[in-house]
Amino acid sequence: MIPGAFSYHRPATVADAVKLLTDLGDDARPLAGGHSLVPMMKLRLATPAHLVDLHSVAGLKGVSRGDDKVVIGAMTTQHELLASDEIARSLPILQEAALLIADPQVRYRGTIGGNLANGDPGNDMPALMMTMGASYQLHGPNGARDVLATDFYQGAYFTALEPGEIMTSVTIAVPAAGHGYAYEKLKRKVGDYATAAAAVVLTMAGGKVATCSIGLTNLHETPLLAIEAARAVIGTTLDAAALNKAATAAQAIMSPAADARGPVEYRKHVGGIMVTRALQRAAGRAK
């Protein structure tokens, strides 16, 4: 189908974008990569009267390193993350996850900010950001504010974004040297959302898990941080009993929808398997 009629705006600054979104209110939608919004418009499931294209807004792209943090502009594409030497050095799990997002054509256009700000429980990056303790900078009519990824997601497609606000950057603390990481994703085919996925970042000391964080994708109406599952493996050698305890704790907080990817119990079952695999692979990478 063809989208309904709309007015097109292409602001040059964050302030201009915020003013447009504030003045136009509910009739306006920001446009980043467009992979979620444009298909909905073509199906007439979304009919905004105004599109505010963020591609010309200065300063919303790029990756920079400062001391112990990496800052990523919200309009940085998945392809640009994959091409970044800084991401490869400091946050390699981002590249591992980005390679599992859709296909190359989508990654050339899709942005990290769009993936994070949409509130879609099937998107890969939100759980990863929660796992890494990331924070998002939001700009709106009242200025800028920072919101932790763990506080941002409130329900399916509902986030902490206030009217007129846009996400401008993501800040991630660089994990400890020698950390282990893994993103395990089960999907039906290339380009599909995850049936279940798990992110793990951990460190090892003396052959045992010293620190651990686990995130879950598409296993609830929001991304999940599996705190009890991570606690279950700290101080262990990741033996079979510890892995089983972690998987069980992770499954306890899962509440996936029954859909074409499988019934609820199946998706919870493979969710536990993704947690186990991610833990094992992350430990194998830790130094």
CA distance 123 to 105: 17
Tell me: domain 63-173, CATH 3.40.50.1860, correct? no
Dump pLDDT digits (tens) for 117-154.
999 999 999 999 999 999 999 999 999 999 999 999 99
Residue intervals in the chain for CATH 3.30.390.50? 180-285
Residue with token string 């599992």: 100
pLDDT of residue 45: 85
Dump pLDDT digits (tens) for 158-190.
999 999 999 999 999 999 999 999 999 999 998
Residue intervals in the chain for CATH 3.30.465.10? 63-173
Closest CA to 72 of 52, 91, 56, 99: 91
Sign of the CA dihedral with 190 first, then 286, 239, and 231 last: negative
CATH superfamily to which 180-285 belongs: CO dehydrogenase flavoprotein, C-terminal domain (3.30.390.50)
pLDDT of residue 190: 86
Task: For residues 225-247, give the mean pLDDT.
Answer: 98
pLDDT of residue 35: 83
What does pTM read for this prediction? 0.95
Residue intervals in the chain for CATH 3.30.43.10? 7-53
Residue 241, token pair as written in the block: 């009993």
For the segment(s) 7-53, the CATH number from 3.30.70.3270, 3.30.43.10, 1.10.940.10, 3.40.50.720 is 3.30.43.10
